[in-house]
């Protein structure tokens, strides 16, 4: 994918389309995680259509940038984007969460374009660090991106990995937290307050950037900044809205892991302008 041309309007239109397809496959499946996939749309669109070097027709291209989806439950939006990139036929999206499908309920390794299966939270950042250290040992150059949820960083293993990345000066790792403020049983701030998140990551030795996670200009600027930072890993705190784009889902913990009914899908698509 070319880094040179940025057409924000085009990215916005893609994001609108991806939200539609995300909700459609979750509705068809009858289960899934709409809230945390809708909050990550702009982040993932920026990675796959702007920042990352990757070749959908050559998923194993050795010099591709790596992406680890640590918040594996939000996989439907990744599947939608990978299919739209051309990693596999869009028709296959209809099999999401169905028996015999590669599109498992949490992100799955057999799906073309997926580097690693996750689903138990807090495991992706260590893997990203390992990929980056492996590249350093083998003297090859690519970046590794890792998307985490804000609920997810309550897992202690995330902080083990945060220390490792800083100690080993892994400047080829960019962790992005989809801070949608809501976890399964309520607001993060009520369940286990994580703020000040920026101060915590800086104290752990990271270069930390805060953005509006639905603003393409800000996300893209942060991803570009990451590539200029040497000697330390970069964290992007993306402030997002859970269920973004569908008013009745926005900020609602009940839409963390529930599929819309057909009429709810129709209302949502109507709101998205379809």
Enumerate binding residues for another protein (CB under 8 A): 62, 109, 115-120, 122-123, 125-135, 137-138, 140, 156-157, 160-161, 163-164, 168
State in angstroms the smallest separation of the CB of 246 from another protein: 30
Residue 39 or 118 with smaller CB distance to another protein:
118
Residue 23 or 132 with smaller CB distance to another protein:
132
Q: How far apart are CA 256 and CA 81, in angstroms?
A: 20
Q: Residue 207 forms beta bridges with which residues?
A: 234
Residue 140 or 203 with smaller CB distance to another protein:
140
State in angstroms the smallest separation of the CB of 172 from another protein: 12
Q: Residue 182 forms beta bridges with which residues?
A: 187
Listing DSSP states for 156-185 in one string gives HHHHHHHHHHHHTT-TTEEEEEEE-SEETT
Q: How far apart are CA 35 and CA 80, in angstroms?
A: 15
Residue 157 or 252 with smaller CB distance to another protein:
157
Residue 249 phi, psi dihedral angles, 5° rounding: -100, -20
By C-alpha distance, which of 95, 42, 106 is closest to 70?
A: 106
State in angstroms the smallest separation of the CB of 126 from another protein: 3
Which residues have a Cβ under 8 Å from the Cβ of 238 and sit 6 or more positions away?
A: 43, 176, 177, 178, 179, 211, 212, 213, 219
State in angstroms the smallest separation of the CB of 94 from another protein: 24
Residue 66 or 214 with smaller CB distance to another protein:
66
State in angstroms the smallest separation of the CB of 132 from another protein: 8
């Amino acid at each position: 994918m070319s880094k040179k041309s940025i057409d924000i309007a085009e990215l916005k239109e893609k994001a609108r389309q991806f939200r539609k397809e995300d909700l459609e496959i979750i509705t068809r499946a009858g289960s899934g995680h709409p809230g945390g996939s809708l909050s990550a749309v702009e982040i993932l669109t920026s990675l796959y259509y702007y920042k990352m070097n990757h070749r959908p027709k050559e998923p194993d291209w050795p010099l591709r940038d790596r992406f680890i989806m640590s918040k594996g439950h939000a996989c439907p939006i990744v599947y939608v984007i990978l299919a739209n990139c051309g990693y596999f036929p869009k028709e296959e999206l209809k099999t999401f969460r169905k028996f015999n499908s590669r599109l498992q309920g949490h992100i799955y390794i057999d799906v073309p374009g997926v580097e690693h299966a996750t689903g138990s939270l807090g495991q992706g950042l260590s893997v990203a660090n390992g990929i980056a250290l492996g590249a350093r040992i083998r003297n090859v150059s690519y970046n590794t991106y890792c998307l985490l949820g804000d609920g997810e960083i309550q897992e202690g293993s995330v902080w083990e990995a945060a220390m490792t990345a800083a100690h080993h000066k892994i400047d080829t790792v960019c962790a992005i937290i989809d801070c949608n403020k809501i976890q399964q049983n309520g607001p993060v701030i009520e369940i286990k307050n994580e703020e000040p998140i920026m101060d915590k990551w800086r104290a752990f030795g990271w270069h930390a950037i805060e953005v509006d996670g639905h603003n393409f200009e800000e996300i893209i600027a942060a991803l570009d900044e990451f590539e200029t930072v040497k000697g330390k890993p970069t964290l992007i705190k993306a402030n997002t809205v859970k269920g973004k784009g569908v008013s009745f889902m926005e900020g609602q913990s009940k839409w963390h892991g529930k599929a819309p009914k057909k009429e709810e899908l129709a209302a949502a698509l109507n709101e998205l302008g379809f």
